[in-house]
Amino acid sequence: MKILVTGGAGFIGSAVIRLAISRGHSVINLDALTYAACLENLAAVADNPTYAFEHADIRNRPEIDRIFGKHQPDMVMHLAAESHVDRSIDGPGTFMETNILGTFNMLEAARKYWAEGGKPDGFRFHHISTDEVYGSLPPDPEVQFTEDTPYDPRSPYSASKASSDHLVRAWAETYGLPVLVTNCSNNYGPYHFPEKLIPVVTLNALHGKPLPIYGDGSNVRDWLYVEDHAEALLLVIERGEVGRTYNIGGENERSNLQLVETICGILDRLRPRGDGSSYSELITFVADRPGHDARYAIDPSRIREELGWRPSVTVEEGLERTVRWYLDNEDWWRPLLSRQGVGQRLGTGR
């Protein structure tokens, strides 16, 4: 299968490409190489004859048409997006352009290509989205997001992703484009850009810096190991029912404070501090994110029952692998620390 992946130089897209190539698929990676991109994530596949890279922006429709025409993909996995909620608070414009208008361009280019190719049965447009489109949950563990939960996005990021989801479903209803939508919970794992909670905490700890926790640390997320997510995404595009939405969760709800304490415990074991104290002493509560959603949690019944997928690791196992990866891969993360905005407090709303 030849898959056009957008955003393949990012965190999740690169995990998808590494897995897809290892499974014998051909991949074209379309990526604009924004501040969040790292082609180094793809070093393991870069020289593979089944991998091709196209430096292009999904805001540029003629470029997308050119790439469809040149590579003639069988399917599309659309991951390219601006993805950091804090940055969406400071500068929502690029989120609207890339996440909404960029998705519109992808849909129109895919529709033209699919129609001109005689509407092949096997074509799929798989849109990768987030559980944040569903809003915020109460603490009740019985209440989780299902595929039928009404949309209630509350940040510029989640509103832009919700808009793109609506566009994708409209293109399926109106034009018959064979789409699949997945909404996943918070990912973590190797190659996570050092502006998100888990790499920030891990790297700050190694540098003896404060470990910032927004608000009181009680916000709950359902943590999904990125390589498990990549498995689920390939399964959905290969076996998912056209037109259907699948929620993908980690079955691992933890509060931010619990998560950070777990990371500290792992580091205490793997890289003890010189003075014998715990890294948890570096935990520092900082001003909360405006509109910080209290809880996200995914009901994974549909993907489990219909496609037989479940996450393979607990968050404790995944965090141990992740922390070890950061300890072993300083050459990867060190240069990223000087990228624009990294290491700064963003998204305070001021």
* Residue nearer to ligand NAD on the CB measure, 269 or 334: 334
Interaction between residue 11 and ligand NAD (CB under 6 A): yes
Please choose, out of 73-81, 289-297, 306-314, 316-324, the segment that lies near ligand NAD by the rule CB under 6 A.
Answer: 73-81
Interaction between residue 13 and ligand NAD (CB under 6 A): yes
Q: Is 71 exposed, middle or buried (0-12, 13-18, 19+ CB in 10 A)?
A: middle
Interaction between residue 293 and ligand NAD (CB under 6 A): no
Amino acid at 299: D
Q: Is the dihedral of CA 191, 197, 202, 207 positive or negative?
A: positive
Interaction between residue 153 and ligand NAD (CB under 6 A): no
258: which residues sit within 8 A by CB, 6+ positions away? Answer: none
CA neighbours closer than 13 Å in the CB half-sphere of residue 205? 29
Interaction between residue 167 and ligand NAD (CB under 6 A): no
Paired tokens of 8? 């393949």
In angstroms, what is the minimal distance from the CB of 278 to ligand NAD?
Answer: 27
Cα distance between residue 264 and residue 207, in whole Å: 13
Paired tokens of 332? 């990867």
* Residue nearer to ligand NAD on the CB measure, 149 or 279: 149
The contact pattern for ligand NAD, residues 190-229, with x = CB under 6 A and - = no contact, is ---x------------------------------------
CB atoms within 10 A of CB 241: 11
Residue of 5, 76, 79, 211 that binds ligand NAD (CB under 6 A): 79
Helices (H), the chain: 11-22, 61-71, 85-90, 93-95, 103-116, 156-175, 197-206, 226-239, 256-270, 301-307, 315-328, 330-333
* Residue nearer to ligand NAD on the CB measure, 186 or 204: 186
Contact call for residues 53 and 39 (beta carbons, < 8 A) = yes
Contact call for residues 309 and 294 (beta carbons, < 8 A) = no
What positions carry a catalytic annotation?
131-132, 157
In angstroms, what is the minimal distance from the CB of 232 to ligand NAD?
Answer: 12
Q: Closest CB to ligand NAD belongs to which residue?
A: 10
The contact pattern for ligand NAD, residues 98-137, with x = CB under 6 A and - = no contact, is x---x-------------------------xxx-------
CB atoms within 10 A of CB 121: 7
Contact call for residues 59 and 31 (beta carbons, < 8 A) = no
Please choose, out of 80-88, 199-207, 233-241, 278-286, the segment that lies near ligand NAD by the rule CB under 6 A.
Answer: 80-88
| Contacts to ligand NAD from residues 18-37, by CB under 6 A | 31-34, 36-37
* Residue nearer to ligand NAD on the CB measure, 147 or 268: 147
Cα distance between residue 325 and residue 302, in whole Å: 32
Count residues binding ligand NAD (CB under 6 A).
Answer: 31
| Contacts to ligand NAD from residues 37-66, by CB under 6 A | 37, 57-59
Interaction between residue 83 and ligand NAD (CB under 6 A): yes
Q: Interface residues with ligand NAD (CB under 6 A)?
A: 6-7, 9-13, 31-34, 36-37, 57-59, 79-83, 98, 102, 128-130, 161, 184, 186-187, 193
